[in-house]
Amino acid sequence: MKYKLCVLPGDGIGPEIVAQAERVLGKVGEVFGHEFTCETHLIGGAAIDATGGPLPEATLAAAKASDAVLLGAVGGPKWDAIDKAVRPEKGLLGIRKELGLFANLRPARLFPELAASCCLRPDIVGQGLDVVVVRELTGGAYFGQPRGEEMRGGERVAFNTMLYAESEIRRIAKVGFETARKRGKKLCSVDKANVLEVSQLWREVVVEESKNYPDVELSHMYVDNAAMQLVRAPSQFDVIVTENLFGDILSDEAAIITGSIGMLPSASLGAGGPGLYEPIHGSAPDIAGKDLANPLATILSISMMFVHSFGLTDEAAAVDKAVAEVLREGFRTGDIMGAGKTEKRVGCAEMGGLVAERIRR
């Protein structure tokens, strides 16, 4: 089969980690007999430097014409001081919106090989840590109108609107239920229904939708409690579904308790059209260009792409297996180095090469 990828390396460590993911992709193509063509385009700060804006027309057109999009990371201190309207992050938000990628799947799991880097006590982790955060990605306070800053009563005020239409809630709820159905069949919907009208509607619609999923056990949790429960007893969660801003926060929390934010991939999906795959970590400008970054989250994003965009489950399993093997053999980038004496420290490029070598049918 032939697949056309739009590759957006972005800023900071983005280009390094994406290069390693492309290397693994190339190897999967060789071993399984597929042809992956990668067309690279600008996004984020790199696009601002070259074109003046964070999401050039050419990038958007190429993304829309692709079978899937692979993204590195955007942003960095270099662009922090410029005009608020052209921040690198706007490129990412823009492409999510333009491609209609309303569902963001963020699996946070503790790799058994990296149990030592988990930052929770072993008795808290208990049966392990394996949560998927299903985050709504194109609504809520990130996009709601009106928004802005103005003068009121002689001082500056700023405002955003957290707004959800019933249809937006329903479609993300469905993704939550479907995701839970394929896993532990438990869905926790996180909201702030004790305070926010938008959360009250959220809860009503999720409950309505649950009638279509009698096999999935639904629970509700306020977001403050959910933040606490994630560190108190994370194994109670299977799938969490929540709105954009809560999901942004909780997915970082879920990720870091695994101790290996450099390991976690994500998928952003819409209704048909290309999906977008990216590591959940950021552009890490402090280590950019030094061959220190961990490419595994990006490599594992390729595995999610195989599953969700191409239906290539054997190929996905081959990637996951190769990563597990490399970890079992003790290879580590700096971010996942533990105290183990048998661990071998490697750079970004070597890590990518080690995974590629282990891709087998």
Q: Sign of the CA dihedral 295, 300, 302, 304?
A: negative
| Residues of this chain, 305-324, that bind ligand IPM according to CB under 6 A | none
The residue assigned the tokens 């990006």 is 298
- Of 76-84, 89-97, 211-219, 348-356, the segment contacting ligand IPM by CB under 6 A is 89-97
* 294 annotated as a binding-site residue: yes
Residues 105-144, interacting with ligand IPM (CB under 6 A): none
d(CA 293, CA 291): 6
Give yes or no: 238 in active site.
Answer: no
Minimum distance from CB of 99 to Mg ion (Å)?
18
Say whether 290 counts as a known binding-site residue.
yes
- Residue whose C-beta lies closest to ligand IPM: 89
DSSP 281: S
Q: Would you count residue 92 as binding ligand IPM (CB under 6 A)?
A: yes
CB 319 within 8 Å of CB 24: yes
Of 67-75, 174-182, 187-195, 248-256: span binding Mg ion (CB under 5 A) = 248-256
Based on the shown chain and the rule CB under 6 A, indicate whether residue 71 belongs to the binding site for ligand IPM: no
Nearer to Mg ion, 133 or 355 (CB): 133
User: What is the DSSP secondary structure assignment for residue 184, as one 8-state letter?
Assistant: T
Closest CB 89 distance from ligand IPM, rounded Å = 4
CA gap 201, 135 in Å, rounded: 17
DSSP H or E stretch at residue 296: helix 296-305
> Cα(256)–Cα(265) distance, rounded to whole angstroms?
13
- Three-class SS state of 12: coil
**Residue 209, annotated ligand binder?**
no
- Residue in 89, 178, 217, 320 binding ligand IPM, rule: CB under 6 A: 89
What is the rounded (10 degree) CA torsion for 52, 58, 64, 67?
-110
- The site for ligand IPM (CB under 6 A) is made up of 75, 89, 92-93, 248
Catalytic residues: 142, 192, 224, 248, 252
- The site for Mg ion (CB under 5 A) is made up of 248
